[in-house]
Structure 1
Amino acid sequence: MRASAMWIANWEACELNSRTKQDEKEEAYWQSHAPMYDVRNPLAPFAIPIIEQITYHLHSTDHLLEIGAGTGGFTRLLAPYVRRITVIEPSEAMRIQLQNNWQEEHSASLDVLACKWEEAGNISCDVIFAANAFYRMRDMKECIIRMNETACKSVFLIQSIGKPYASPIIVKRGASTEQMERAHLISHILDEIGIVHEFISYPIVRKDGGKHEVALISWNVELNDSTE
C-alpha cells in the first residue's frame, strides 16, 4: 500500500477516537484541556535543540505560517526570528489561550486565522511550520503538496514518535495489519511525491520525565518546485 493511501485508510477506519472526524468533539476536548495545556506537559520548552535547528534557517524579514498553532508554545519561541507570523488554529479554546499568552513586545506581528488548513484560502508565506498538527488530516499527501505550493523558502514539520505522545498509523487488511509511526509515514509520503527532505530524530525529555524521540522533517521548497 502506498504511504498516502495508508494515511487515508487509517483516517477512514478511525472509529474509536471520535475527535478525528467530529469537530464538535475536538472542540469539547480542548475546552477542558486548553487552559492547562502549557502547564501539564508541553513539548515546545523542551524541544530547544529542534527550535535552534529551525531558527538557524529563519530570516528577520520572513513571513512564517504555522499550521495548528494550539496555545502558541512554538509560536512564541519562533517569533523573535521573523517579521510576521500567521497562525491557523481551528479550536476557539486554543485560540483564546494563544492570544492570552501572546506578548505584545514580540517584534513579529501576529495574525490568527480561525479555520482548518484544508479550509484556509490562498496564502503566501516564506516558511511553513507545524508541530504534531496532522492527526485529524484526512489526506496528508494533498496537505504536503499544498504546503510546498504555499511556502516560498522552507517547510519544517515536528512530529512526536511513539506513545503516549503520538499514536501510530494502523491499517488492517484482512488478516494482516500494517503499522507505522506518523513521522516515518510522512517521510514516505514525501518520497512518494518526490520531495527531497531531511529527517532528523531528537531525543527529548518532557516535563514529566518521559523520554521519547521527536522528528524534525524539513525541506527546501526552492529545490522541490516540481511535485506531481
Structure 2
Amino acid sequence: MLKLTDIDFNAVWQETFGWNTDDKSGRKFDDRVESDFWVKLAPRYTEEYNLNHDTPLIAQRLQQLLGSGHSILEIGCGSGNFTALMARYSKNILGLDFSPAMLAVLQQRLLAEGIGNVQTQSGKWEDFTTDAAFDYIVSVNSLYRIRDMAAALHKMNAYSRRGFIIVRTIQRPFFYRLYRDCGLDCAECPDYQLLPLLLWQQGIKADVEFLHYTKIKSFTDIDAVSQEMCYDLSKKTFLTYREPLLRRFQEQALMQDSAQQISQPRTTVIISVKKINLG
C-alpha cells in the first residue's frame, strides 16, 4: 500500500505545473516573455490587480503574523501593494522582484509616499544570495515560476530567523461558484494544496488558514458576461448551459450606475511558519 511518505511532492509539483513537458514556451518558462508581460502591465497593476481593493483581511493578517519592528525580505514585491503597508510597521524591507519594470513603479511609489525603509533588488528567488539575515520572508502570489519548489521552500526557511509567510489566492474563475451551482466543473490551481505538503515533508511545521471574502466585478452588458464565461468554459460548454448561467447571473447582479455589478466568493490561503520565539 502506498504511504504518504512514499510520495515525492516535489516531483508532483513539477508534473502538475508542466515542468516535465517538452513545450517550454510561455511566461512560466521563458524569462523574456515574462519580462515583456510585466513591462506592459506594470503601469496599471496597482490600480487593477491590487488584492487590497478586494479585502483588507490579507494585509491585516500579515500584520498580525509579522508584528512590528522586524526586517522583511519580500519575494515578488511587484509594485508594492503589500510592501508599502508592511513598511509602516517593519524595521526595513528588501523587495525582490524579477521585473525591473515593476520595481520602477515601486520606486516611484516609495518616493511619492515618503517611504525610506524599503530597498529593492531585481532577480529571481532561485538565484538570490545574501549574507544578510531577515526576521521574516513574505511571498504574496509570487512563486508560480519556480520549478524546484522543495529547494525554494528550504531556502526560505534557511534565510529567515523568525519564520516566513506564503500567501496564495486560490486561482479560480471569477464565476467559479456560479459554475459549480450549475453542475459544471472548473479547473483550479492546486498550488495551495501542495505547498504545505512540501513543507511538512521537509519537517517544517506550517500552519494553514483560509480567508474568505467577496470580490465585486462590474460588467457593461450581458455580452461582456458571456465573453468571460466563454473564455472560462469554452464556447461549446457555455452555449449548452447559457440559459441557466445567465439566469443565475441576473438573479445575483445589481445595477450600479450603467453597469451590472456582482459579487462572488473568493478565498486566500495563508501558509505560515513560525520559528521559536526569539523574544
- State the TM-score bracket (shorter-chain normalisation): 0.7 to 0.9
Tell me: CA distance 1:47–1:145, structure 2 relative to 1, closer, same or farther (3 Å).
Answer: farther
Aligned residue for 2:98?
90
In structure 2, which of residues 196, 211, 215 is the aligned counterpart of residue 202 of structure 1?
Answer: 211
Counterpart Cα distance in 1 of 2:49 and 2:122: 25
Counterpart Cα distance in 1 of 2:144 and 2:53: 21
Aligned residue for 2:163?
154
Q: Does 1:35 align with 2:43?
A: yes
Counterpart Cα distance in 2 of 1:119 and 1:86: 15
Q: By how many angstroms is 1:78 displaced?
A: 1.0
Counterpart Cα distance in 2 of 1:16 and 1:147: 26
Aligned residue for 1:12?
19
Partner of 1:146, secondary structure, is helix
Counterpart Cα distance in 2 of 1:207 and 1:89: 28
The structure having more radius of gyration, on CA atoms, is 2
Aligned residue for 1:172?
none
Q: Which moved more, 1:38-47 or 1:155-164?
A: 38-47
Q: Percent identity?
A: 25
- The within-5 A match list for 1:1-228 is 1-9=7-15, 10-13=17-20, 15=23, 18-102=26-110, 103-106=112-115, 109-122=117-130, 123-164=132-173, 181-208=190-217, 209-222=263-276
Q: By how many angstroms is 1:92 displaced?
A: 1.3
Any conservation in 2 of the 1:162–1:212 contact (CA below 8 Å)? Answer: no
Any conservation in 2 of the 1:159–1:215 contact (CA below 8 Å)? Answer: yes
Aligned residue for 2:232?
none
Counterpart Cα distance in 1 of 2:264 and 2:139: 22
Q: Which moved more, 1:95-104 or 1:194-203?
A: 95-104
Q: Which has the higher contact order (CA 8 A, sep 6+)?
A: 1
Q: By how many angstroms is 1:163 displaced?
A: 1.8
Going by fraction, where is helix more abundant, 1 or 2? Answer: 2
Any conservation in 2 of the 1:124–1:150 contact (CA below 8 Å)? Answer: yes
Partner of 1:57, secondary structure, is helix
Q: By how many angstroms is 1:86 displaced?
A: 0.3
Cα deviation 1:137-161 (Å, max 9, x = unaligned): 0111101111001010021110011
Q: Which moved more, 1:97-106 or 1:154-163?
A: 97-106
Unaligned runs of 5+ in 2: 1-6, 175-187, 218-262
Tell me: CA distance 1:153–1:186, structure 2 relative to 1, closer, same or farther (3 Å).
Answer: same
Partner of 2:139, secondary structure, is strand
Unaligned runs of 5+ in 1: 166-178, 224-228
User: Scaled by the length of structure 1, what TM-score is found?
Assistant: 0.83
Counterpart Cα distance in 2 of 1:90 and 1:191: 28
What is the CA RMSD across the aligned residues, in angstroms? 2.1
Q: By how many angstroms is 1:45 displaced?
A: 3.7
User: Scaled by the length of structure 2, what TM-score is found?
Assistant: 0.69
